[in-house]
Structure 1
């Protein structure tokens, strides 16, 4: 799998080298894009795929694959369908409205754990990076430190999503009782205004919303999510129903190869990322330069991902353990 991207210095350079080697291995060729594509081999079960997405920085490799023709080179036309949340994205996949769903990881596992749907994970997307996800507040809020969060109104997108689980995990790490928190469910684009208006005392935010909330509402971090039990935590990925995966192995492999190539390019060249965030995530150029990017990846690693259902089980979001290996689809190049 690809390592976590950290900003600056020799560490990032080393990871870029590792990423190049990983992609070359995963694609089965020394030069990216030089292997036999599904288009060349023929026989794609579906040449047009619908993918439900969220307009966040996590989607940079996906947008790059679209914009640079990597999907097209694999014989695919990929259509984006905007979803309001990770749970809403997952619902579109379960209902058959889309082929593949992008989401934070918890909804995939809760769907499996509660028997709501038999989901397969098809590609990795991001992990938590330093300062890429945080619990934030505003100057007029009664919350000044993490210990103040007990009993307060905290904005999240939905229950049992990353915003909910990671917030509770960080509070637990700091011995802050989340049992009496008033959880306020608010879509990400509306959270900064909700903080300003006192509808919430604090909120979980990922980038680019952290930087945007700082600019529009003076939001300041209370605690970085990239600490303790949630450091480098697997954050987002792509999934599909097991039925779809079994019916479309060649189309899935083509999607995975395109995403592997795009993720490689994203890892080694931030200059390719920023214009995409401006165009597709509707971020202004200054914000795109300032924000902290998440850790990008594409190939799924069961040992790393096992942290997600383990945390869900610990926090009571699923009734019994889940073995991640049972949910990982075949991976192109493996």
Structure 2
């Protein structure tokens, strides 16, 4: 409810309603009418698929094509190389890219925050890991280093005074993690939804700890970004994308029933899983105070060498 109130207050009625139709008439003035967005097939994409399926991008004069990536870092790489215009990712890769000088990225739209039970460290019954205190020195499956998967895992372990320095990080694509747990290739794993619910059904996976605790409670999780050059060269196109996402996010927040069938179609999950899983906290407007938690955690865990001011990375927001 708080997220919905903030979205409504900041974006205003026009961004969620009548302005969208008027934007269609100016679609021809967009710098670029066809957008490629690199994505990951997770529940975080609910509003994005809703914007596609409901014609909100089209109403803004946009044709949006999806490019599937294996991880947040891979998604970011597609935007840096020009294969995609906008990248969806967990937030850490945007900041590590800025810190290392790999790319001058700007954040263009919010996507999700951690919700209770939406992200967890899980294990299976035959694993030696039974509680969070058993994770020290074990094999933990993640998608990539310096993404939300290992950073949030390390943060939760640190909150419980569990040493993560000797953890054996096993890099596995999300769809393969449940099988890896069953086969003993990993003792535990970081999973977001829908993989938490799917792993419970296919591998009997059980949560070791909910990520929505301690320093990572309500943590900013995913968002959309583009290179600074792309943002400067496509202000009207970006604003059109943002308006469509604001409208779709508003609807996703108030009506879960609109999201569930899209998860079945695009995330390739069954209807029962779509009904059972916990959705993340959806959002579209970027809040610098909230997002500052991400680079601050990266700095604390040694993932970046110096502080980053989030305000320096937020692109102009439609409706503000």
TM class by smaller structure: over 0.9
- Say which SS state the counterpart of residue 58 (structure 1) adopts: helix
Report what 1:33 is aligned to: 18
Report what 1:59 is aligned to: 45
TM-score (norm 2): 0.97
Is 1:128 matched up with 2:114? yes
Say whether the 8 Å CA contact 2:107–2:315 is kept in structure 1.
yes
Matching of residues 81-100 of structure 1 within 5 Å: 81-100=67-86
Q: CA deviation at 1:319?
A: 1.0
Report what 2:218 is aligned to: 232
How far, CA to CA, are the matches of 1:266 and 1:257 in structure 2?
14
Say whether the 8 Å CA contact 1:38–1:44 is kept in structure 2.
no
Distance 1:64 1:31, change over 3 A: closer
Deviation by residue 1:178-228 (Cα, 9 ceiling, x = unmatched): 000011000000000000000000000000000000000000000000000
User: Quick one: which of 153, 158, 162 aligns to 1:172?
Assistant: 158
Is 1:191 matched up with 2:155? no
Q: CA deviation at 1:3?
A: 3.9
- Say which SS state the counterpart of residue 29 (structure 1) adopts: helix
How far, CA to CA, are the matches of 2:101 and 2:2 in structure 1?
32
Report what 1:21 is aligned to: 8
Matching of residues 1-334 of structure 1 within 5 Å: 3-4=2-3, 16=4, 18=5, 21-22=8-9, 25-27=10-12, 29=14, 32-34=17-19, 37-41=22-26, 42-334=28-320
Distance 1:164 1:37, change over 3 A: farther
Q: CA deviation at 1:40?
A: 2.1
Say whether the 8 Å CA contact 1:38–1:251 is kept in structure 2.
no
- Say which SS state the counterpart of residue 175 (structure 1) adopts: coil
TM-score (norm 1): 0.93
How far, CA to CA, are the matches of 1:31 and 1:240 in structure 2?
23
Distance 1:20 1:117, change over 3 A: closer
- Say which SS state the counterpart of residue 80 (structure 1) adopts: strand
Q: Over aligned residue pairs, what C-alpha RMSD do you find?
A: 1.4
Say whether the 8 Å CA contact 2:21–2:60 is kept in structure 1.
no
Distance 1:75 1:199, change over 3 A: same
Q: Which runs of 5+ in 2 are unaligned?
A: none
Q: After TM superposition, which residue ranges in structure 1, 4 or more long, deviate above 6 angstroms?
A: none
